[in-house]
Amino acid sequence: MKRIVVGLLAVAMAGSSFASLPALIPIPRELKLTGGTVAFAATNSPKVEVVASIPPEGYELSITKDGVTIRHSDDAGLFYAKQTLAQLRADATERVPPGKGPAPSGPIALPCLEIKDSPAFHWRGVHLGETQRLYGKGTIKRMLDLMARYKFNVFHWHFTDVKGWRIDFPEYPNLARKSALPGLCSNEQALFYSKEDVADILAYAKERHITVVPELDFPGHSRGITTAYPDFACPVKAKKRPDVLCVGNPETLKFAERAIDWVCETFPSEVIHIGGDECPRHFWEKCPRCREFMKQHGMKSTKEIQPWFTRHLAEYIAKKGRKAIGWDDIVTEHGNVAKALDASVLPDRESVMVMGYRCRSVILASLAANMGYKVVQSPSKYTYFDYRQGIADDPFKYFGRSVTPLETAYKFDPYEDVKPEARANVIGGQCCNWTLYTLTYRDLEWKMWPRAFATAEILWTNPEPNKRDFAEFSARAAEHRRRLIREHINCAPMK
């Protein structure tokens, strides 16, 4: 028996006609080829058994001469077992010489094997920014299909920001209708999603075991809101409409609470994202309403306003039985430092979680994890897919000069800078599709794939960073890239 080690996998191969491992992404945590093959058609039903001891979302897949058996403890586990089985079928089909293959759904020889698999993290996310432009339901559904195939389970929908508010909130109708800056959407594009569109996307995601996490980006990044409702901005003279909410206006606070009521009614997600990134304070300095607000609350500095706002919203969300998450700015200082906010203004660790993006001397979300917050990691240097890919003659435009090639995406370690005793605070991670320069869905797909293969594998399997074999991963990623291209997904070259 030949035994090879791939990453954390010990793979036993015995007399199999499969000389190499099936190209699965993410690679299962345990996979053993047991030798021989069995014919299996897409129309065949595997035998399914419920085994309570299998972890949530986990499954076991046995392929023997007698057929295919799936064991699982929950619906998600059964779903992921079927995704793996579909990848095995696709892999087996690739191995048949051209012209000798079976009908698309016909019987094909699958390798006999034993898989035991479960995710390393329960937040395996893909973020999509849809405020600069709106891609539409078709693009989102295509994205959800691929997310499910690669075992992602969170769709983080960033639909409010500087340049628009893209879902109709009927109580404040101007948001969806008057927030977008002129010229951002062509005439053929709808400017926002209706309630029915959102219900359709939620149902589609649910069928694929994907939770849609909505983000209300407060109190900064809110020029979309202040364009639609100017009184929600500080009444100060400025060249551009302020990109921050006037926290001193009671109507603004009422709006923020009603927006939370509305997302809680619309989205079943337990977690509600409240933004919190890159909040400017200089408007608050000059605003008579905000200065009065500070006096009432005994605040000495505008630095205390955002932490108050975060705590207020997190408590409001907690009372509704949900949980808030915000970008790492909600617990750390602004700017180029790796420093926590003063303990007197920090939000409660039970009511708010932290989503990381900034990489300083340490990854700031790791600092938050070490402080006791539950965190979702999306450090920009590994997971921001609006960064360049290092591809020669790349036809698309990217944000800034940062480069995140596939190899760097595969170096993402959700535990980087996290103390061993704080590892349990890392609940997962995600890749982020910011779309300032991402003009169309073809552009979006190009930036996301193949890099999202790396994120998918890290969040599901999380091979030990020092045991990852990029060449081996690349070979599998190249195979999946070929499949996506055959499905007309605009996947970028490997390098």
Of 232-240, 270-278, 295-303, 369-377, the window that binds Zn ion (rule: CB under 5 A) is: 232-240
- Pick 158 or 223: Cβ nearer Zn ion: 223
Angle CA 48–54–57, to nearest 5: 85
Task: Tell me the angle at which helices 470-486 and 451-460 cross, rounded to the nearest 10 degrees.
Answer: 120
246 binds Zn ion (CB under 5 A): yes
Identity of the residue, 59 or 283, whose beta carbon is nearer to Zn ion in the bound complex: 283
Q: Which of 146, 234, 341, 492 binds Zn ion (CB under 5 A)?
A: 234
- Taking the least distance from each CB to Zn ion, the nearer of 246 and 274 is 246
With tokens 């409409």, the residue in question is: 241
Candidate segments 113-121, 223-231, 280-288, 467-475, binder of Zn ion by CB under 5 A: 280-288
Q: Is residue 489 a contact residue for Zn ion (CB under 5 A)?
A: no
Q: Output the smallest distance, CB 330 to Zn ion, in A.
A: 19
Confirm or reject binding of residue 92 to Zn ion (CB under 5 A): no
Count the Cβ atoms, other than its own, within 10 Å of residue 408.
18
Rounding to the nearest 10 degrees, give the CA dihedral for residues 26, 24, 11, 429.
0
Closest CA to 435 of 158, 152, 148, 144: 158
Query: C-alpha distances in angstroms, 82 versus 68, 336, 455, 457?
Result: 11, 45, 20, 17
| Minimal distance, residue 169 CB to Zn ion, in Å | 22
Cβ proximity to Zn ion, 290 vs 330, nearer residue: 290
Q: Is 242 in the site for Zn ion (CB under 5 A)?
A: no
- Shortest separation between residue 347's beta carbon and Zn ion, angstroms: 21
24 close to 91: Cβ distance less than 8 angstroms: yes
Q: Cα(436)–Cα(162) distance, rounded to whole angstroms? A: 11
Q: Between 190 and 238, whose beta carbon lies closer to Zn ion?
A: 238
256 lines the binding site for Zn ion (CB under 5 A): no
- Comparison of 238 and 403: residue with beta carbon closer to Zn ion: 238
Q: What minimum distance in Å lies between the beta carbon of 250 and Zn ion?
A: 11
387-426: which residues touch Zn ion (CB under 5 A)? Answer: none
Question: Please, what is the minimum distance in Å from the beta carbon of residue 280 to Zn ion?
Answer: 12
Q: Are 110 and 37 in contact (CB under 8 A)?
A: yes
**Sole binder of Zn ion in the list 58, 77, 164, 248 (CB under 5 A):** 248
* CA gap 18, 11 in Å, rounded: 12
At 369, list the tokens: 């994890």
The stretch near Zn ion (CB under 5 A) out of 147-155, 250-258, 286-294, 393-401 is 286-294
Six-digit token string for 236: 């100060």
Min dist CB 288 to Zn ion, Å, is 8
By CB under 5 A, which span of 78-86, 195-203, 239-247, 387-395 interacts with Zn ion?
239-247
Q: Shortest gap between Cβ of 479 and Zn ion (angstroms)?
A: 55
Nearer to Zn ion, 228 or 287 (CB): 287
Q: Are 31 and 61 in contact (CB under 8 A)?
A: no
- DSSP 8-state secondary structure symbol assigned to residue 70: E
Alpha helices in 15-136 (DSSP H): 75-94
CA distance 79 to 441: 27
Write down the H helix ranges in 334-378.
Answer: 364-370
How far is Cα 57 from Cα 122, in angstroms, rounded to an integer?
Answer: 8
Region near Zn ion per CB under 5 A, out of 94-102, 212-220, 285-293, 342-350: 285-293
The span of 183-191, 216-224, 233-241, 429-437 binding Zn ion (CB under 5 A) equals: 233-241
Choice between 246 and 456, CB closer to Zn ion? 246
Nearer CB in complex with Zn ion: 234/448: 234
DSSP string, 205-254: HHHTT-EEEEEEEESBS-HHHHHH-GGGS-----SS--SB--TT-HHHHH
Min dist. Cβ of residue 305 to Zn ion (A): 9
- Select 28 or 276, whichever has its Cβ closest to Zn ion: 276
Q: Quick one: which segment of 28-36, 241-249, 303-311, 419-427 binds Zn ion (CB under 5 A)?
A: 241-249
24: Cα within 13 Å, side-chain hemisphere:
28
Q: Which is nearer to Zn ion, 82 or 286 (CB)?
A: 286
Please give the angle made by the CA atoms of 115, 116 and 122, to the nearest 5 degrees.
Answer: 130
Select the span of 89-97, 169-177, 234-242, 448-456 touching Zn ion (CB under 5 A): 234-242
| 450 within 8 A of 477, measured Cβ to Cβ | yes
Place of tokens 């600069």: 132
The distance between the two most distant Cα atoms of the chain, rounded to a whole number of Å, is 79
Instruction: Decide: is 289 part of the binding site for Zn ion (CB under 5 A).
Output: yes
If one asks whether residue 287 binds Zn ion (CB under 5 A), the answer comes out as yes
Q: Which is nearer to Zn ion, 303 or 323 (CB)?
A: 303
The site for Zn ion (CB under 5 A) is made up of 234, 246, 248, 287, 289-290
